[in-house]
Structure 1
Amino acid sequence: MLVHKIDDEVSLRLFNLDDAEEFYNLTIGSKTYLKEWLGWLDHTKSVEDTAQHILSRCKELVENGGYPQSFAILYNDKIAGTIGFNEIHKANKMGIVGYWIGEKFQGKGIMSKAFKALIDYGFNDLKLNRIEVRVAIENKKSRALPEKFGFKEEGIIRQAEWLYDHYVDHVIYGLLTNEWEYTNKECNT
């Protein structure tokens, strides 16, 4: 099982079918909290739905030449959320990041650690040139991550997503590999 240990508490790991029940329970346990910004929650009605989602993510591993696209975020060996590339455009060497964390895991710095690890992975292992984050304008917690790690706000997509009974606009953040290299070089000197 591929595990990337970030520190003593946080790691990233590939999902497997044995995770379906735990991940489903995390999703449903945080549903009210997550529903403000995630439009797919009503489609997750059973452990089997979660298992099917995990299977689809496993297929991406094969399609990506053995490189995983998404990960379970583990906090003290419990699934705390997920992070990964919702899309990878190989011809353009560009990936779009998506992430969420369960309500009870908020405020522990978990997502910041996972986000940094994913960006490193995207630029260093997947050899992406550009990474994007698209997030609802009013979702201040999710916007804080790309802002913290040097992403540039590049524009607004109006009515980008339907959330149950209304549209929300998205802000697009982008970061290029040379900007990441420069930021990391500056932080390490």
Structure 2
Amino acid sequence: MFVHQVDEEVSLKLVDLGDAEELFQLTDRSRDHLRTWLPWLDHTKELKDTENYIKFSKKAYANHEGMNTVVLYNGKTAGVVGFNELDWTNRIAYIGYWLGVDFTGKGIMTRAAGALTDYAIRDLGMNKVDITAAEHNRGSRSIPERLGFTEEGKIRSREWLYDHYVDHIVYGMLKEEWEKLIR
């Protein structure tokens, strides 16, 4: 089981079916907050939906195609961060994340995404890490910006959010850039 202690407050644990209830409750409590930027909330209406997501995540991990972790903040489930995709041919890891409404503004996701960036480059041997965020989602965009990622461009109409399209900003971190930053 993958468990990574980021610091004294934050750790990452490979998502497992034992996390389903707590993760679903966090999603449900944060529904209004998350719905602004995440398209999957209308498909996560009951515990079984979260269980199906976890099964999908476990299969992706077993096939070396992705890796989703529960973000723990002082031992409490705070959200999810992971590799939505691992592109082994091009050595690119794509990070995605979300936090429950009660856990924002504490630097939790910046620390978690930084730890995953480091893991992708040092342990998985990736050459690049990508993070995309909706253009007007300042909270999400601030994470790669604080970590020193380079803004690489905009993908127009990248995602359908319930009743409209949103553009996404793409951020990238190359291996050699990360190695210079963490020295």
Give the aligned partner of residue 17 of structure 2.
17
2:66 matches 1:89: no
Matches within 5 A, 1:91-170: 91-170=89-168
Q: Which runs of 5+ in 2 are unaligned?
A: none
| Cα displacement string for residues 2-42 of structure 1 (whole angstroms, at most 9, x for unaligned residues) | 32112222100011111111000101110100111001110
Matches within 5 A, 1:40-119: 40-64=40-64, 69-119=67-117
SS in 1 for 2:182: helix
Aligned length: 183
Which one-letter code corresponds to 1:4 in the other structure?
H
Percent identity for Structure 1 against Structure 2: 48
Which one-letter code corresponds to 1:165 in the other structure?
D
2:3 matches 1:6: no
Question: After TM superposition, what 4+ stretches of structure 1 lie above 4 angstroms from structure 2?
Answer: none
Shift of 1:77: 1.2
Which one-letter code corresponds to 2:166 in the other structure?
V
SS in 2 for 1:11: strand
State the TM-score, normalized to the length of structure 2.
Answer: 0.96
Shift of 1:128: 0.7
| Cα displacement string for residues 76-121 of structure 1 (whole angstroms, at most 9, x for unaligned residues) | 1111001011111110001111001000011112111111111011
Shift of 1:62: 1.5
- Mapped to 1, the partners of 2:8 and 2:170 lie a distance apart of 33
State the TM-score, normalized to the length of structure 1.
Answer: 0.93
